[in-house]
Amino acid sequence: SEIYNIALSTGVITTVVFILVAVGAAFSWIISYARVPQLIAEGILGNDPSIFTILLVVNIFFFIGCMFVEAIVVILILTPIFVPIASAAGIDLVHLGIIVTLQVAIGSGTPPFGTSIFTCSAIFDQPYLKVIKNEAPYIAMLLVACVLVSAFPGISLFLGSLTQ
């Protein structure tokens, strides 16, 4: 007897998520076509960036990008830009991937348009403001964790080093 309501609820939640993904994909296509990320990265990083500068820019770009666009879209746009730069600078790509994953998770849960906020709001049937009201301490803790992982690559590479 509840199958109809469950199916309807699932359909609504899925629709909200897919609308966000579709809008994000359209936005990302426009930005990619205009080469905005490449121009910004070249302008900020300059000709000979340090590892610190590259990681700082990666953290900022992925965090801000995921605050406004679906995470997969941000990853698809920014990863091809930053991987060659990071690889050339000698940054371990596993380390870079962990930083990207952390920033995607943080940015997706951060206002104003973090997609995880809207997903939670739809799933738990709670208003947007109630969802974001108490999340600041969690975002702060995640940001501190990301700073530590960025500053000390051994944190993210520790388990991989055990197998060698």
Q: What is the pLDDT of residues 50-105, one digit of tens each?
A: 899 899 999 999 999 888 888 887 887 788 788 888 888 899 999 999 999 999 99
Q: For the chain, report the end-to-end CA distance as a whole number of angstroms.
A: 56
Please list, in sequence order, all residues whose beta carbon lies within 8 angstroms of the beta carbon of residue 153, skipping any fewer than 6 positions away.
92, 95
Sequence-separated (6 or more) residues with CB below 8 Å from residue 16: 118, 119, 122
pLDDT of 149 reads 94
Please, which contacts does 144-151 make with residues 24 or more away whose CB atoms are closer than 8 Å?
145/102, 146/59, 146/99, 146/102, 146/103, 146/106, 149/95, 149/98, 149/99, 149/102, 150/55, 150/56, 150/59, 150/99
Task: Tell me how crowded residue 64 is: count the other CB atoms within 10 A of its CB.
Answer: 14
Cβ atoms within 10 Å, residue 116: 19
User: Residue 125 is encoded by which pair of tokens?
Assistant: 């049937």
Q: Is pLDDT of 164 > 70?
A: no
Token pair listed for 44: 């900020």
Residue type, 47: N
Whole-prediction pTM:
0.73
- For tokens 């909200």, name the residue: 16
Predicted pLDDT of residue 98: 94
